[in-house]
Amino acid sequence: MTGPGERQYPRPVRSGPGSEPGRGDRRRDPRDGRDGARPGGDRRGGGRTGRTDVVDRPRRAAYDALAAVHRDDAYANLVLPAILRDAGLYGRDAAFATELTYGTLRAVGTLDAILTDAAGRDVERIDPPVRDALRLGAYQLLHTRVPAHAAVSATVDLVKTVGYGASGFANAVLREVAGRDADAWIDRIAPSMADDPVGHLALAHSHPQWIVRAFREALGGDLGETTRLLIEDNQPPPVHLCARPGLADPAELADEVGGAPGAFSPYAVYLSGGAPGDLPALAQGRAHVQDEGSQLVAAALAAGPLDGPDGRWLDLCAGPGGKTGLLGALAVQRDARVTAVEVAEHRARLVERATRGLPVNVLHTDGRTVGADPKLPEEHFDRVLVDAPCTGLGSLRRRPESRWRRQPSDLPPLTRLQRELLTAGLRATRPGGLVAYVTCSPHVVETHVTVTEAARRCGAPVDFVDARPLLPAGMPGLGAGPTVQLWPHRHGTDAMFLAVLRRG
Ligand SMILES: C[S@@+](CC[C@H](N)C(=O)[O-])C[C@H]1O[C@@H](n2cnc3c(N)ncnc32)[C@H](O)[C@@H]1O
């Protein structure tokens, strides 16, 4: 188990549909425990031979995705679709593999603490392939309706193919895990809420402590709300479409795609059942996939009251072009043009693709070159969006592994860049013009601190505009202003922050 030569992942071997003769007859719904995962599978030849045909394909796919994330630093949302395609998994099997992958990745902090206790050794000392298999098994035991015997035997079968000689160990650890339900495990291993609320919430809801602390601070110290946010972060994210104004009617689009009009954004359509697939409305540029919160903050910039000219709009951090797409569609109706700036070339190309047919000029350059680049003059633009790069702590639902990758040390370089970009945005704005500063993070260092610092340093007078009236009337939970923080648990959106500033 612990020899240095063994502490690595074997080459992924995918069991595609054609590689399992007769398997289709044997394998039934993997959730009902009759999925072909056999206790005592050693006798059937899995064992040290590395055979993968003893492992059902959804679990194998989930394992491969997990291994790619942990071994190669891959992103689950990028690798999993290819793995599912290669394995020929569709429908319920694909949904099960997706739930296992995303659920396990989100829960990994708590699962590791439980596995450490159950194994009697730090989970870091377990071979990585066996560790990932155990995580998958523990997730099934504690967070799905897979019967315990099926979760254990399927995981032991998996371990036989990835962690040579470790099946007995895996069996023993998982039987220990199965001895308690999730709540009982939290009672056993988490500090009490009274003694250590952050430690408790971090373990109970599988978030790093520094993120729990940041959420708690942004929520004014309210532990009840912090808990609701953490619970929401562990749910599969909704998929929203933006019906582009002038190009699609949201009610008609909702009928067309079998969705429902959004609760807040006048352009939002909620898709039921996950992935948007190849909807004609997307291919035809009538709509794009975009979280409702992103729609609201982009539309708020367009809604801000402005005296004087209003034809020059700037999006200083545009890639991949979601908000530029909405601003571009609004610009058509308002006889305006959008200049979209993006520093990463491939993302600049994505902005071009996302805004085809709209009055948008894409500039592949650094947004901080305002004043130095003749295409980005100072005091030139009427409305400016600075949707700055950030930690993304507001969209943890969408990237299940990101909470474990992000570190507090990411904050200083990011906040410096945010400050420089917002300062550049303010310099690019004409006197009287508006700037919307947006982050998909509620961390106060990326929100209030950045805005206050940039406004202080930009060398021009700057006033806060109350952003709340720029959002749809009657929207609840917008706080005391002038900035707005949206929340998954309050609004069903990503945790987008919005500050609207007027250049004096
Ligand atoms: C939060 S994302 C923007 C999302 C985008 N507004 C949307 O709605 O699709 C931030 C973007 O800023 C870009 N970026 C980072 N540094 C930049 C810089 N110095 N100048 C311009 N763009 C930059 C990143 O490459 C990234 O595409």
pLDDT tens, 434-471? 999 999 999 999 999 999 999 999 989 999 999 999 99
Residues 221, 355: one domain? no
Torsion angles phi and psi, residue 270, rounded to 5: -90, 125
Does residue 496's CB lie within 6 angstroms of at least one atom of ligand 1? no
Assess whether the C-beta atom of 54 lies below 6 angstroms from ligand 1: no
334 ligand 1 Cβ < 6 A = no
Band the pLDDT of 9: cuts 50, 70, 90.
Answer: low
CATH number at residue 39: 1.10.940.10
pTM: 0.90
Q: Are 72 and 148 found together in one domain?
A: yes
Nearest to 130 by CA among 161, 154, 102: 161
Which among 177, 202, 222 is the end of a domain?
177
Q: How far is the CA of 77 from the centre of ligand 1 (A)?
A: 20
**Catalytic residue numbers?**
440
Identify whether 350 is part of a domain. Answer: yes
Would 258 be classed as within a structural domain? no
Q: What is the pLDDT of residue 19?
A: 29
Closest ligand 1 atom number to CA of residue 347: 27
- The response to whether residue 343 sits with its C-beta less than 6 Å from ligand 1 reads yes
3-class secondary-structure state, position 314 = strand
The residue out of 177, 200, 223 marking a domain boundary is 177
Distances (CA, A) of 473 to 367, 385, 496: 33, 22, 18
CA distance 406 to 393: 9
Query: Ligand 1: which residue has its CA nearest to atom 17?
Result: 343
What is residue 501's DSSP assignment? E
Residues 127 and 207 both lie in one domain:
no
**Do 499 and 396 share a structural domain?**
yes
**211/344 same-domain check:** no
- CB of 319 closer than 6 A to ligand 1? yes
- Say yes or no: CB of residue 325 within 6 Å of ligand 1: no
What's the rounded Cα separation, in Å, for the pair 65 and 61?
A: 6
Report which residue type is found at 349: R
Ligand 1 center–CA 286 separation, angstroms: 23
**Span 212-222, mean pLDDT?**
98
pLDDT at 213 over 80: yes
Ligand 1 atom nearest the C-alpha of 439 is 1
- Alpha-carbon span 314 to 333, nearest angstrom: 16
354 Cα nearest atom in ligand 1: 9
* 395 is a domain residue: yes
Residues of the binding site: 317-323, 342, 366, 387
* 59 within a domain of the structure (yes/no): yes
Tokens 């940041």, residue? 214
**Separation in Å, CA 39 to CA 35, 133, 148, 156, 288:** 11, 16, 12, 8, 47
Could you give the CA distance from residue 282 to residue 243 in angstroms, rounded to a whole number? Answer: 9
SS3 269: strand
294 lines ligand 1 (CB under 6 A): yes
Closest listed residue to residue 158, CA positions, set 25, 24, 36, 325? 36
Q: Three-class SS of residue 30?
A: helix
Task: Say whether both 420 and 464 belong to one domain.
Answer: yes
The atom number, within ligand 1, closest to the CA of 366 reads: 20
Domain membership flag for residue 273 = no
Q: Are residues 97 and 226 in the same domain?
A: no
Q: pLDDT tier at 95 (50, 70, 90 boundaries)?
A: very high
164, pLDDT greater than 60: yes
Residue 117 domain flag: yes
Pair (224, 306) in one structural domain: no
- Using one digit for the tens of pLDDT, what is the confidence trace for 175-196? 999 999 999 999 999 999 999 9
Q: Kindly report the protein residue whose alpha carbon is nearest to atom 12 of ligand 1.
A: 317
Q: How far is the CA of 297 from the centre of ligand 1 (A)?
A: 15
Q: Identify whether residues 143 and 195 lie together within a single domain.
A: no
- As a whole number, mean pLDDT of residues 63-81 equals 96
293 CB under 6 A from ligand 1? no
257: in domain: no
Closest-CA residue, ligand 1 atom 19, reads 366
Q: Which of the pair, 327 or 5, is modelled with greater confidence? A: 327
Find out whether the beta carbon of 342 lies less than 6 Å from any atom of ligand 1. Answer: yes
Whether residue 268 has its Cβ less than 6 Å from ligand 1: no
**138 plus 226 within the same structural domain:** no
Is 490 within a domain?
Answer: yes
Helix H or strand E segment including 242: strand 239-243
Q: Assess contact for 288 and 244: CB atoms under 8 A.
A: yes
Containing domain of residue 13, as a range?
A: 4-177
Are 317 and 367 spatial neighbours (Cβ–Cβ below 8 Å)? yes
Amino acid at 497: F
Cα of 366 to ligand 1 centre, how many Å?
10
Q: Which residues are annotated as a binding site for S-adenosyl-L-methionine?
A: 317-323, 342, 366, 387
Biggest CA-to-CA distance, the chain? 81
pLDDT, tens digit, 9 for 90 and up, residues 402-437: 999 999 999 999 999 999 999 999 999 999 999 999
Q: Which structure tokens are listed for 268?
A: 């939002």
How many whole angstroms separate alpha carbon 170 and alpha carbon 152? Answer: 8
**CATH number assigned to the domain comprising residue 395:** 3.40.50.150
- Contact between 23 and 36 (Cβ < 8 Å): yes
pLDDT band at 104 (very low <50, low <70, confident <90, very high): very high
In a shared domain, residues 213 and 324: no
Residue in 291, 341, 342 to alter for ligand 1 test, most ligand atoms within 8 A of Cβ? 342
Q: What is the mean pLDDT of the chain?
A: 90
Considering the domain architecture, whether residues 170 and 194 belong to the same structural domain is answered as no
Look at the chain and report how many structural domains it folds into.
3
Residue of the CA atom closest to atom 7 of ligand 1: 322
Ligand 1 atom with the shortest distance to the CA of 315: 6
Cα-to-centroid distance, 317 and ligand 1 (Å): 4
The helix or strand, by DSSP H or E, that contains position 488, with its residue range, turns out to be helix 488-491
198 is written with which tokens?
Answer: 């952050």
